Structure 1
């Protein structure tokens, strides 16, 4: 898999960019060479970054008063992916998703493997001096604070009566706005860990699928800018396909395999206990310890499947500081990927797929 990770990390593949489309073509070519021929490409309307939508919400919250909580509520709907209404009026660009199928077409079980092609923009907000503190608490609670918590605090303070809380709230919001604008104008990262590792693992499973299961690989575009590719696939194909499991593969080379118990860019959105139990059973089948269950402060494509009522697991990994290795940084290159962890995640994913196939019989 290292060759696939290195090749992808060498491509500029920002959200809704020609590079994202090029990465989809590259994955399709590699899969065809390895015997996977049931492939098609989807195009959709996406954005190059989430930062402009977030910045617009923060700017409204800066008005204070009733506008602040209204903007915060809208931001939660946008960042969680439940109702990103503002994206319909912001400028859009073509995004690209590759869909590939392998395995037994008549199998009783279908598992969708979801791995995003695109990479994030960096920015000062992702500097290790800002993201590093709090490691002991993260490791103890197995939770990463919501990334937009400062925006929430600022908006709530700006809505209060009194000059002092409003000044403090607006100061927090001003810093948040500056951070979003910095991200919007920053370059894309190589994305070796996030998410060339997930793409490479999904490719490996499609080339060598477990028996008794139909695999559908969904290589999404625009995850980093707000999950537009996953939203498009669910609306056009995913809900009708009704897979027995949607398995997200994202950022697999940090050190310790984990599954998400919840995602909380602002409010927490939980995964089903029954689906998490399937992850534990898959680990036992693969001869691995049960994966740690974490709550992260951002989003993954798999949460949209959860909102759609589909069984879903989001498989990631976490580093020794309770954070993703070189997350959204320009040094997210192959040398920083823990290949042993990627292999463990691949084994875990295969075990989960096999358990899903058994459960569907």
Structure 2
């Protein structure tokens, strides 16, 4: 029998990375490759002695464009139909408000109202459970998504620092346009002017840029998010040999995270895990650069979200043993957005580069060759320390 922590060493974790990135390749939502990744996870879990394994199938859309393109098309239509008649202006106001609402949702990992119409693919979550040695006093859910994305130049742009102000401006402008058009509908005289031309140009530009993103290739997804899957497999092997005392650990290998966190949402909706004494920990892009526990997330000012304060305090305690790990705000949109929105306690562990951004986020260079084995191992060891802190904090009898 191997030592428990040997599964968290760089060479072992890189074996999983090799299998996912080169053996399987790009794993876009609802694809055969995403399904093969789910099968690989099940094979490894069984081989290390994990017995409680389940697969949850669900329907989903297959690309972010299926959600974004209708929203941006509505925005463009709203700016082009604000003609002189009252009916057209009211129609433009309604379309603008609807597009603003749905754009905000898309950039906050909320499903659109038309999601059932675009859910044309089948995906899956792989769910595994390792029971504690004694009575269950806490439940922890570790999350790593199986799918990878297309290369995208909007999320994030070449200058990531522009993402939040531009996205916030876009949502705000659409809401403002709804008010402007509604006011014009009841004004005696209202003419199209500079505001209409500017908003039309911005809306059409965003639509064209999104269409260009949809023409991009799918990326290998080494850091995003084969790195998290590898770390979770290492932790599963460790805990199968040495379970925690009072904490049940559940591993959620989710599908379709890159198209709006669909997998984690379906898990929470179907299984409704208890909120009391339950913690969710999402691993995001932990195979390169430095490691942090994220203190604030969001890609718009309207869609910011934060981790649970108690779990954040436990992460700070765990970081005492890992001086290279610290808390920081991140420009990110991840599965924690869904977890927080649905009323659960969670935290995200993420990697960041020298400039403070997620490394290789939605870029073609997100390949196995860019992975740092030491970063993987650091994330796995910190995750294990955090689990121990959570277990020690379990309420007394």
Same fold (TM over 0.5): yes
**Alignment partner, residue 256 of structure 2:** 222
Q: 1:69 aligns with which of 97, 112, 128?
A: 97
| Equivalent in the alignment of 1:251 | 285
2:357 to 320, 323, 329: 323
Who is 1:177 aligned against? 207
Of residues 8, 15, 19, the one that matches 1:7 is 19
1:190: how far off? 0.3
Helix, strand or coil at the partner of 1:293? strand
Q: Choose from 121, 127, 131 the match for 2:150.
A: 121
Equivalent pair of 2:74/2:96 in contact (CA under 8 Å): yes
2:63 pairs with one of 36, 40, 49 = 49
Q: Distance in 2 between matches of 1:60 and 1:319?
A: 36
The answer for the alignment partner of 2:236 in structure 1 is 206
Equivalent runs, 1:303-314 vs 2, <5 Å: 303-314=337-348
Alpha-carbon distance in structure 2 between the residues aligned to 1:227 and 1:243: 23
> Is the partner of 2:295 in helix, strand or coil?
strand
Provide the rounded CA distance (Å) in 2 between the counterparts of 1:323 and 1:289.
Answer: 17
CA spacing shift, 1:240–1:146, aligned 2, 3 Å: farther
Distance across 2 between alignment mates of 1:334 and 1:358:
36
Residues 173 and 154 (structure 1), Cα distance of their counterparts in 2 relative to 1, 3 Å cut: farther
Q: Aligned runs of 1:89-100 on 2, under 5 Å?
A: 89-100=117-128
Could you tell me which of 89, 105, 113 is aligned with 1:85?
113
Q: Partner residue of 1:194? A: 224
2:322 maps to 1:287: yes
Cα distance in 2 for partners of 1:301, 1:242 equals 20
Q: Displacement of 1:147 after TM fit?
A: 7.1
Pair member with larger Rg: 2
Structure 2 vs 1, CA of residues 307 and 335 (structure 1 numbering), >3 Å: closer, same or farther?
same
Which sections of structure 2, spanning at least 5 residues, go unmatched? 1-12, 80-91, 182-191
Q: Which residue of 2 aligns with 1:21?
A: 35
Judged with a 3 Å threshold, the aligned counterparts in structure 2 of structure 1 residues 250 and 357 are, in CA distance, closer, same or farther, namely: same
Q: Distance in 2 between matches of 1:306 and 1:247?
A: 11
Question: Could you list the runs of 4 or more consecutive aligned residues of structure 1 that deviate by over 6 angstroms after TM superposition?
Answer: none
Task: Tell me how far 1:133 sits from its aligned partner.
Answer: 6.3
Distance between the aligned counterparts of 1:246 and 1:115, measured in 2?
11
Between 1:213-222 and 1:63-72, the stretch displaced more is: 63-72
Q: How many Å separate the matches in 2 of 1:260 and 1:180?
A: 28
- Considering only aligned residues, what root-mean-square deviation do their CA atoms show, in Å? 2.4
What runs of 5+ residues in structure 1 fail to find an aligned partner?
139-143
Distance 2:164 2:288 in 1: 18
Quick one: distance in 2 between partners of 1:242 and 1:207?
A: 27
Give the structure 2 partner of residue 131 of structure 1: 158
> Residue 253 of structure 2 aligns to a residue in which SS?
strand
Deviation at 1:196, TM superposition (A): 0.6
Distance 2:274 2:294 in 1: 25
**Structure 1's 146 and 191: CA in aligned 2 closer, same or farther, altered over 3 A?**
farther
Q: 2:310 aligns with which of 274, 282, 286?
A: 274
User: Displacement of 1:292 after TM fit?
Assistant: 2.5
Q: Which deviates further from its counterpart, 36-45 or 169-178?
A: 169-178
Counterparts of 1:253 and 1:225, CA distance in 2: 21
